[in-house]
Amino acid sequence: MASNGIRRIGVLTGGGDCPGLNAVIRAVTKTAIMNHGVQVCGIEDGFLGLVQNRIKELRQEDVSGILTVGGTILGTSNKCNPSRYCTGMDEQGKPIFKDVTDRCMDHLQHWRLDALVVIGGDGTMSCAKDFIRRGVNCIGVPKTIDNDLIGTDITFGFQTAVETATCAIDRIHTTAASHHRVMVVEVMGRNAGWIALHAGVASGSDIILLPEIPFDYGVICEFITQRHLHHRSCTIACVSEGARPVGGRQVVNHHDPTSPDPVRLGGIGKIVADEIEKRTGAESRVTVLGHVQRGGTPIHSDRLLGTRFGFHAIELLMGGQRNRLVVMRNHKVTDIDLLDAADKQRLVPLDDTLIAAARAVGTCFGDAPVA
């Protein structure tokens, strides 16, 4: 019997997929089994598997060889909140929601799970909150390419997404220079501009547009005009999907009424490119990186971070801790109250030193006249 009465735990991956998920699953499973004699059960497709009772035992051999594999061997879902679960559509085509948390609790009891390790972002932690209130011990591990979870300096998956976006923009540079074009690259991030900021600076993008800094088309176009006057024949703009003009709104690609987070952003890149071409006459093109930022093999830093996070999650459980979120603060893995991270987003602060550094080397954020 394991210490603290913990014999068997469940682990799930919720929300969007990202590189490094399997590194966490591997660390959680192997640490629990090998160091503490605790059985581990994998819950398929996030909280959806808990609703539908799709749970299976994980053994050491099940998680061997997955460290370098992208995605998640358990599957994931960003549409399932047990407290607001879509059961179908009414006669008007509107979704019907039902609280099925009791059903999930029955499945937890059936599988005799003493605790849950929930790997995900703010939406996943918000779902975990309802189980915490019912007495379930939940240990959270912060996952999102958007890097927007409150309480941690970084989430795993972010650095690989930035590397993917940076490499893509590097390639855009050569075709932009060949054709003397303005190239707009739209990256993910929802309401937070972390990917756009880091990939934009790393790739030497001339313009970076963030959700946190509303932009002015006049400023952007004057910046491009001045570049052309100084014989800089191409311009690269890295645009976060949540960016918006001063006084304007974010561009919504579509709504998914069945999802707990129904708004899907996307499309600002094309609008920016079209507006630049109309105002300056400069030939402009847009590239939307989309889900390529979520896929592929995690880079070494996300493999290391995922491993450290997974190990710390089990150490918290076996140390008697309850309802904690594993976080990275000041380069140290530690933990905070999981409830402190639920229903919140971590945005780029306007005084971030990387913004200051980018401005110092001439990057335009669309919010100030060209000097």
Q: Which positions are annotated as active-site residues?
A: 146
Give the whole-angstrom CA distance, residue 180 versus residue 259. Answer: 42
Burial bucket for residue 178 (CB in 10 Å: 0-12, 13-18, 19+): exposed
Residues near 265 by Cβ (< 8 Å), separated by ≥ 6?
Answer: 190, 241, 242, 250, 251, 252, 253
Strands 85-89 and 55-58: unpaired
Give the whole-angstrom CA distance, residue 335 versus residue 327. Answer: 5
Q: Tell the residue number behind the tokens 């690989």, with chain if given.
A: 160
Give the whole-angstrom CA distance, residue 265 versus residue 255. Answer: 9
Q: Is there a contact between 261 and 121 (Cβ–Cβ < 8 Å)?
A: no
Check residue 215 and report its DSSP letter: B
Buried b (16+ CB within 10 A) or exposed e, 168-177: bbeebeeebe
Backbone angles phi, psi at 369, to 5 degrees: -60, 150
Tokens of 284: 């402009």
Question: Going along the chain, which residue ranges are E strands?
Answer: 8-13, 39-43, 55-58, 85-89, 95-98, 115-120, 138-142, 182-187, 207-209, 235-240, 252-255, 263-265, 284-288, 324-329, 332-337
